[in-house]
Amino acid sequence: MSKILLINNNRSLLSCDLSTEIATRGNYNFLVATEPNVNLVARSQWVPDRNGDVAIRGIVGNIDYSLYYRDEGIVAIELRDIVIIGVYISPNCVLEFFQHRIFNLQQVVMRSRKRVIVVGGFNCRTALAGAASSNARGRILEDLLEVTGAICVNDGAATYSARGHESIIDLVIIDSRIRIDTIDFSVLNEETASDHKAVSITIRDCPSRVMQININHRLTDYQIHRGN
């Protein structure tokens, strides 16, 4: 069993600290932060993307992992039989940029020989996550799901709330090699010092132990790391 916590920190150091506290208290194996505090992830045990827009770190369980892929807005780590991908796409980018980022994500998912789970801030509206309708960004994401056979496991619970507006923009996607009945998804009622809520994911049948592999933080292109 592996547990993943996803939180958008809005660059706040306090939110980052609270995220780590929630993850530690809840015995989460991995914390995925979108819009983390850049100074924090640069000097600690985080594995960030190339822009510092999304980062992953191990929390509890002494689980070994390696960097699998890193680009702008996408970072992935590899365990023994699963790849965890963190994603962030700004709400301010143009549609063509969103489409390009989704295409990059599609390539990472389709190249993996292992099961894949994608978590992050997509800043789109899709009916597949429980929204009333899909916008242009959401339809692009839905094309990705159709091509790869992946599934969005969000259950309609809002992950963002500000100024009386709620939306579902922090998403969890699993590929076809992960059974939907092995995933526990929930949006937590925890203080995050952010206008985003904490998202909890548990993969019940995912072995986590792998051989120790050093992380190459200079990796910027697709590459599979294998143990000896």
Name the CATH superfamily for 2-203: Endonuclease/exonuclease/phosphatase (3.60.10.10)
| Strand partners for 161 | 166
Instruction: Give which of 180, 19, 156 is closest to 86, Cα–Cα.
Output: 19
Tell me the chain's radius of gyration from C-alpha atoms. 16
Q: Give pLDDT tens digits for 174-201.
A: 999 999 899 999 999 999 999 999 999 9
Give pLDDT, residue 68. 97
Instruction: Give which of 166, 37, 84 is closest to 46, Cα–Cα.
Output: 37
Q: Quick one: what percent of the chain has pLDDT higher than 70?
A: 90
List all residues 6 or more positions away from 139 whose beta carbon is below 8 Å from its beta carbon.
126
Instruction: Tell me the pTM.
Output: 0.89
* pLDDT surpasses 50 at 210: no
Q: Quick one: what percent of the chain has pLDDT higher than 90?
A: 81
Q: How confident is the model at residue 205 (pLDDT cuts 50, 70, 90)?
A: confident
DSSP 102-116: HHHHHHHHHH-SSEE
Q: How far apart are CA 11 and CA 156, in angstroms?
A: 26
* pLDDT surpasses 50 at 138: yes
Q: How far apart are CA 155 and CA 33, in angstroms?
A: 20
Instruction: Please state the φ and ψ torsions of residue 204, each to the nearest 5 degrees.
Output: -80, -20
* pLDDT surpasses 50 at 122: yes
* pLDDT surpasses 80 at 98: yes
* pLDDT surpasses 90 at 165: yes
